[in-house]
Amino acid sequence: MRRIKLAPRPNWQAEVERLGFAFHTIDGETYWDESAAYAFTLEEIERDIEAPTGAIEQLCFAFIERALGSEEILTKLAIPDMHWQFIRDSWQRGDRNLYGRLDLAYDGKGPAKLLEYNADTPTALFESSVVQWDWLEQAMARDALPAGCDQFNSLHERLIAAFGALRQPSPYRLHLTCVQNSNEDKGTVDYLQDCAVQAGLDARFTYIEEIGLLTDGRFCDGSNVAIETLFKLYPWEWLFRENYANALAGAQCQFVEPPWKAILSNKGLLACLWEMEAGHPNLLPAFFEGDPRCASLSPRHVRKPLYSREGANIELFERGKVLDSDDGPYGAEGHILQDAATLASFDGNYAVLGSWLVASEPCGLCIREDTTPITKNTSRFLPHYIEP
Amino acid sequence: MKRSTQIGLAAVGVVLVASFWPRGDDSSDENLVYNSLADCRAAGQLSASQCEQRFNEASANHLRDAKKFTSTSQCETEYGSGSCQSAVWNGAQVVIPALAGIMLARSFAQGGGAAQPLLPPTNQACPPGSQAEGCQQARSSSSSSSSSSGGGGYRSSSSSSSSARAYSTSSGATVIARAGSSPGSATATSVSSRGGFGSTSHSYSSSSSS
């Protein structure tokens, strides 16, 4: 694993906008950063990223089985009890999942360590799937990189295949939704809708605020069309607590991600996985706050709210002193403590690897960089390639 | 190879093709649409001459296959106002629906499959003033362009319904590129409430995604 400095394409903004990438710059700061790229060997990708990602996914499935049978665990995860059966049913039915992203600490030297699992509403998808793919093709075409480079990135074709297989019979009608006034979320959903259309689906967008409830208990879109399958870029923990929460179970709707993803998209997962497989090479020691075993953690550790997005409310401690933190609105549901991992660090930048799964198959990589050890929503996205 | 072999983005009318890939491993029938020669060239993944060849091919097929009218008004009755152009067919002056775009099967990138001409949607599929967005897209761009010039690719819109554009084929079938939220089949139920989701995001400043 190396960080290679490269000259950005002179017209890189136009090149990425051509693909429909609208948020390469966020609040005046570069988000898509091609002034450098990360280079991996194929062995690093397959042995250190791809295989552990698949192994962790299997471990997560085993944990779901355990959690669904344990009121204690579901309570610790702060999942409202009125939704437990709804979640169990989705797992028993085998509701399929579309995608997720494991955030890993990896510097090429030791095993990758799981920082968290964005199992429910991951973004950075379009830039992972399309923009960095096109970047590599162009870099090879203009000899900035040698021909024969590759990339861990079959996201696009996997997403199309996965959409076709989410529900039978296929093609089916799919609604996609996200909140208003978020370019990043809308960009992600636009891309997924494009994939769904290419899978032959009747794909329709509606903002989450437009969703209505029909008299027969089903949800409907802004045009009053009943929603049968819903991709929602909106977290389960919020859906579980809003006005329509008690309509979820009776809505005759197949949700993507399925309700059982609520078990995984929760930082409590990290403590629970360590409980199941203490010493696993790809896990960091982690406990729920208040567990006496927290005393066994390294003096350098991280405190994370159970529900947190984009680094919000995460604090990095070193011997009782806060080294870095990010403010935010989360934390009321409790916290976990987790040993701090050694992030890859090059030229004053800290890198976190995002390892993608589509339909639970590892199939892509993205890298986000920050100048501090907590990856936030201001972090920059850097492309990667596999050396020939 | 650990990356996708080809990336098609219907929304911006782009086909990206990996510089090499194993052949014959996928025969799915995805289709991609370019609205104009300029779109095809701007996409930059096909060479300019390939774009031209595909459009010439489609134009020739179009002229051969399109329904011929003797007057613009007859044609517009079927295909909508501003959707027609004059042409010469077998030495006779005729009016035909304008070429609204071309559709390429995925297999074209591997050397097979011809470009299929796309026509404006029929008035039957998109009556004048239709609120279905695929129709609005088609009407607004077809009235400002003719043949294979101009038009531009369609992009995702900022309105609540999705971006889509309707076309028809020479045989009269309706093609919706990137499906939109046109009103679906009528249901016997009615809406009892709206707006029961989304409140949490509005009380938080940070994103709902990660």
Give SS3 for A147. Answer: coil
Q: What residues in B contact A211, CB-CB < 8 Å?
A: 194-198
pLDDT at site B67: 86
Chain B interface mutation, best of A137, A363, A366, highest count of B Cβ atoms under 10 Å: A137
Measured in angstroms, the CA of A8 and the nearest CA of chain B are apart by 18
**What confidence score (pLDDT) does residue A229 get?**
98
Any idea which of A147-151, A219-223, B16-20 has the lowest mean pLDDT?
B16-20
Give A371→chain B minimum CA distance, Å.
Answer: 19
CA distance A362 to A382: 19
Considering only residues B190 and A129, tell me which one the structure prediction assigns the higher pLDDT.
A129
Element (H, E) at B175: strand B174-177
Q: What average pLDDT does the segment A255-283 reach?
A: 97
Whether omega before A80 lies within 30 degrees of 0, making that bond cis, reads no
Q: Which of A179, A310, A385 to mutate to test the interface with B (most CBs of B within 10 A)?
A: A179
Q: What is the pLDDT of residue B146?
A: 32
Q: Which of B197, B203, B207 to mutate to test the interface with A (most CBs of A within 10 A)?
A: B197
Whether the Cβ atoms of residue A388 and residue A149 lie closer than 8 Å to each other: yes
User: What is the share, in percent, of chain A residues with pLDDT greater than 70?
Assistant: 96
With vertex at residue A286, the alpha carbon angle to CA A283 and CA A287, rounded to the nearest 5 degrees, is 150
Checking if the pLDDT of A101 tops 80, the result is yes
Sites in chain B below the pLDDT cut of 70? 11-32, 43-46, 104-114, 132-133, 137, 139-164, 171-190, 204-208, 210
Mark yes or no for CB contact B207/A309 under 8 Å.
yes
Higher pLDDT, A142 or A254: A254
Q: Which of A10-14, A74-78, A169-173, B18-22 has the lowest mean pLDDT?
A: B18-22
pLDDT of res. A177: 97
Other beta carbons within 10 angstroms of residue A324's beta carbon come to 18
| Model confidence at A377: pLDDT above 70 | no
**Does the distance separating the beta carbons of B200 and A238 come in below 8 Å?**
yes
Nearest to A205 among B3, B43, B162 (CB): B162
Q: Return the higher-pLDDT residue of B92 and A310.
A: B92
pLDDT at A341 over 90: yes
